[in-house]
Chains A and B, each alone.
Chain A
Amino acid sequence: MRGRPTFVIGCVLVAVVFVVALGSLIWLPYDPADTSGGRLVPPGGAHLLGTDKLGRDLLTQLMVGARIALTVGVGSVLLGGALGVAGGLLAGFATRWLDDLLSAALDILIAFPTLLLAMLVVAAREASLGSAVLAIGLAMSGIVARLTRVLVKRVLAQDYITAARTSGASWPRVVAEHVLPNIWPTLLVNLALQLGLAVLAEAALSYLGLGPPPPNASWGRLLQEAQATVLTAPTGAIAPGVLLVVLVVGVNLVADGFRDLADPTRRRSR
């Protein structure tokens, strides 16, 4: 851990958001729907960060929002990561025509606007947290799959794969022993980036009204609602924005740190 201040900073940042999200499960300053505090109360006193234009406590909203942000981020990364890695492995190992077919399908999926995908999912289901995770996860899977495919192909071209095959290792064994260990560090960094993007995408969806409906106050919805009053009550826009940055930066630093820890050439070089 020594000599890796960025990793430590990343852990702290992520931990802050986690603690806030978990904390919201046991304790909240106010009920999220409580509008008794009066509109646009400035920070301080009974309302640490003030209230919004409906009179709800901002700190409460942010704490609930942290939970939503993490749910969406982690949920869509799990979904998109699982689908993407599976698809990418398949394409990476596939024979020529199947690879071409899968690659074409991935290109279409990636070219498909996330927003349109989200609208389709919302139309088929309803505007909910689950729909947001599903839409974002699906959109993400294409990008993850394409990256996985390239990484797998690169590893498969190495002589140590041939060596493993000529020593009798089955393909599943080759994947477990050589392919996954060599691709996951790069994948992890990309997934961290995707987690950040997913949180931002959820904010965008909520902003457009396609996200989880009120009273689920996601950070994106808070930003949207604070937009009209950003000049008179800036905290409402700044606070969710800062938390968004904290989470995204934190996750990326943690992922970079993990990658370095996993890489023997970097680990021993210090």
Chain B
Amino acid sequence: MPVLAAREVGFAYRGGPAVLEEVSVAVTAGRSLALVGESGAGKTTLLRLLLGLARPTSGQVLFDGAELAPRDPAFLRAVQPVFQDPYSSLDPRQRVGRIVSEPLRSMGLLAPGSRAAKRAEAAERVAEALDSVGLPADAARRYPHEFSGGQRQRIAIARAIVCRPRVLLADEPVSALDVSTRVRVVELLGTLGASHGLTVVVVSHDLSVVAALCAETAVIEHGRVVEQGRTADVLGSPAHPYTRRLIESVPRLSRAARLR
């Protein structure tokens, strides 16, 4: 049974045209999924539906086989987001420790006890999460502006994994980063998948990232899934003309005109 699934969902903003039409995707545990498409295709909207931030106008979003309840603690804990812009996703006025521990505090995941005991447990979990994303424990005492874009994205990932979720929904997690940083964050997401039993769902327009990270791929064009399946199949032998065009458009060193 898929952890998270959209079943023939449609979505339209009030009075607007349909953003999504009859979209069905499923997130199976251990099989990371890529949602690929261009801006305006509806990828981000689909992600918002999967996060329970919006309700589909038609169809259903299922979590563990039952209709998703956005405030259900089990769901909140199991599915966590990572955003595109590491500058907008961290509150500039909070220390990293407070940012990363927010899910623990909001969901009441800390063992009951005195304030000091809770603070100690939170600090320990934060240090653990920071360590998982390759940041030193003393990062907790600093503020977001003291970190680079790539480090900020690591902090955001630490916040997402601190409550030990099963699924990470990442919206263009590396597109705002420099190339060398991008490689390292993609690697991090890959290793977290293996070491923490996380299934990563990535919205991306960058097929290199998709190829490196995801086992499954769904290609979305104009609010519809035009092709989906194993990434190796979708990218290796694309059936839909749009997918083919997408693959051909990727700028590649191996094909660069000026290198020949």
In the complex, is A directly touching B at CB under 8 Å?
A: yes
B92: interface (CB < 8 Å): yes
- On whether the beta carbons of A168 and B107 are closer than 8 Å, the reply is yes
A265: interface (CB < 8 Å): yes
- On whether the beta carbons of B91 and A160 are closer than 8 Å, the reply is yes
CA–CA, A169 and B145, complex, Å: 24
Q: Of A169, A182, A263, which is within 8 A of B106 by CB?
A: A169
CA–CA, A177 and B98, complex, Å: 10
Secondary structure class of chain B's binding surface, majority of residues: loop
Could you write out 14 A-B pairs with CB less than 8 Å apart? A159-B84, A160-B89, A160-B99, A162-B83, A166-B51, A167-B102, A167-B107, A168-B73, A168-B103, A169-B102, A169-B106, A177-B102, A178-B91, A178-B94
B137: interface (CB < 8 Å): no
B243: interface (CB < 8 Å): no
For window 45-95 of B, CB contacts with A under 8 Å fall at 51-53, 71, 73, 76-77, 79-81, 83-85, 88-94
Q: How many A-B residue pairs have CB under 8 A?
A: 73
Set of chain B residues within 8 Å of A177, measured between Cβ atoms: 91, 94, 102
* 19 extra interface residue pairs, beta carbon distance < 8 Å, beyond A182-B92, A265-B92: A158-B88, A159-B85, A160-B89, A163-B83, A163-B102, A164-B106, A166-B52, A166-B80, A166-B81, A167-B102, A168-B73, A168-B76, A168-B107, A177-B102, A178-B91, A182-B93, A262-B93, A264-B145, A268-B145
Shortest beta-carbon distance, A189 to chain B, in Å?
Answer: 15
For window 250-270 of A, CB contacts with B under 8 Å fall at 262-265, 268
B143: interface (CB < 8 Å): yes
8 closest A-B pairs (Cβ-Cβ)?
A167-B103, A159-B89, A264-B143, A169-B106, A159-B83, A159-B88, A168-B106, A168-B107
Interface size on B, residues (CB 8 A): 31
- On whether the beta carbons of A166 and B76 are closer than 8 Å, the reply is yes
- On whether the beta carbons of A160 and B88 are closer than 8 Å, the reply is yes
- On whether the beta carbons of B102 and A164 are closer than 8 Å, the reply is yes
Determine the interface band of chain A, counting residues with CB < 8 A from chain B.
20 to 34
- On whether the beta carbons of A265 and B143 are closer than 8 Å, the reply is yes
Shortest beta-carbon distance, B169 to chain A, in Å?
Answer: 9
CA–CA, A167 and B91, complex, Å: 14
The closest CB in chain A to the CB of B98 belongs to: A177
CA–CA, A217 and B106, complex, Å: 53
B163: interface (CB < 8 Å): yes
A39: interface (CB < 8 Å): no
The closest CB in chain B to the CB of A179 belongs to: B91
Shortest beta-carbon distance, A17 to chain B, in Å?
Answer: 31
Set of chain A residues within 8 Å of B125, measured between Cβ atoms: none
CA–CA, A181 and B93, complex, Å: 7
Set of chain B residues within 8 Å of A168, measured between Cβ atoms: 71, 73, 76-77, 103, 106-107
B205: interface (CB < 8 Å): no
- On whether the beta carbons of A162 and B81 are closer than 8 Å, the reply is yes
- On whether the beta carbons of A163 and B51 are closer than 8 Å, the reply is no
- On whether the beta carbons of A268 and B146 are closer than 8 Å, the reply is yes
